[in-house]
């Protein structure tokens, strides 16, 4: 996941030319019980994580599905 204000859709997909791109707000992730954490990488300063509050730090399937259902397409590639 990347922070939109720190990158562009083209940059996000630059290494994934056949992938599509969705977006959701940090507020949506938080509403579903997620924790949004900046996780900059050397080659991707906009990188972030959405973690769950359980000991493994993972979102539940239900949380992930609700976030997905609230997401919007930015770029949709057809197969």
| pLDDT for position 51 | 97
- Per the CB < 8 A criterion, the answer to whether 62 and 70 are in contact is no
| pLDDT for position 79 | 81
| pLDDT for position 25 | 98
Please, which residues have CB within 8 angstroms of residue 38's CB and are 6 or more apart in sequence? 3, 47, 48
| pLDDT per residue as tens digits for the range 35-66 | 999 999 999 999 999 999 999 999 999 999 99
- Per the CB < 8 A criterion, the answer to whether 57 and 6 are in contact is no
How many C-beta atoms surround the C-beta of residue 43 within 10 A?
Answer: 7
Whole-structure pTM value: 0.87
| pLDDT for position 57 | 95
- The stretch 62-79 carries a mean pLDDT of 96
Please, which residues have CB within 8 angstroms of residue 46's CB and are 6 or more apart in sequence? 2, 3, 4, 6, 7, 11, 12, 40
């Amino acid at each position: 996941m990347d922070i939109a204000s720190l990158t562009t859709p083209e940059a996000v997909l630059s290494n994934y030319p056949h992938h599509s791109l969705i977006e959701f707000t940090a507020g949506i992730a938080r509403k579903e019980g997620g924790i949004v954490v900046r996780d900059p990488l050397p080659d991707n300063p906009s990188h972030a994580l959405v973690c769950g509050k359980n000991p493994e730090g993972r979102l539940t399937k239900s949380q992930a599905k609700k976030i997905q259902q609230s997401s919007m397409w930015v770029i949709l590639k057809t197969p």
